[in-house]
Structure 1
Amino acid sequence: MEKYQIDDRLWQAYASTHFLFSQPLPGPEFSIITAWNPRSCRLSYQDNKANNERLCQQFNTSRWTPVLAGDAAFEWVEESFAVAICLELALNLGRKFEQNAIFYVQNKTVFLHSCIDSRCDELGVLSERIYVSG
């Protein structure tokens, strides 16, 4: 079986993600994760919504809030969750739902973690990645 890898263009797109929170953050340390578009294969809105509902059921008693994750102009947006779980659990959920990567916020800093290999980039402070329209 051929090993799946994230190409540099896609990784750069992930690294430029911005976030829109409609509710308070779930805590000082949390993951931002989605079940949309497994392995970057575009699915219908209904299929993505169903995948996210299954993902949400995995959070058990963890605190979470919905978040939109998208490009800087929010022309591309995926419905996601900010959930107060440890990095290891977030990566495992990412793998279970065939995600290429997840975000992890620690000490107000956003990190991009691959679910496929050990790749990880520090992306800077979360406050600079909050989407503001206009």
Structure 2
Amino acid sequence: MAYAKQSYVEHVAIRVRDIHWHIRFFRDVLGMTLREVQGEPDAPRQVWTIGGVQLASEPGFEGPEGRLAHIGVMTEDLEGALAEAERWGVRHLPQGRNWLQLPDGLCLELIQASGPAVAQALAIDPRA
């Protein structure tokens, strides 16, 4: 039986070498303001924008581009989604039972939505 509820991508987490540059870029170029800062404002470990981007500071990162850390998925029924995921043979990660690793390595953080939040988010047509 497939999961009968709905979900949406709430955020995408990206590891970056220079978090301050990325904060400025998303703010000044795209108008995405911060909704949360983890750590001191002058030396944040992570930040979340209004609009679904999470930036995680990793100064030693040497890759040519940002590195995907995980995708945060907001769901109507966390327990139902976890039960369905079990049938797919996913691996649970140490962060908690709502953190899953898919066979190809993609990591998901499943988050329980409050009330009708998923339906409200999905009702928005950003291209309308």
User: Do the two structures share a fold, i.e. TM-score over 0.5?
Assistant: no
Structure number with larger C-alpha Rg:
2
Structure number having the greater helix percentage: 1
| Between structures 1 and 2, the one with greater strand share | 2
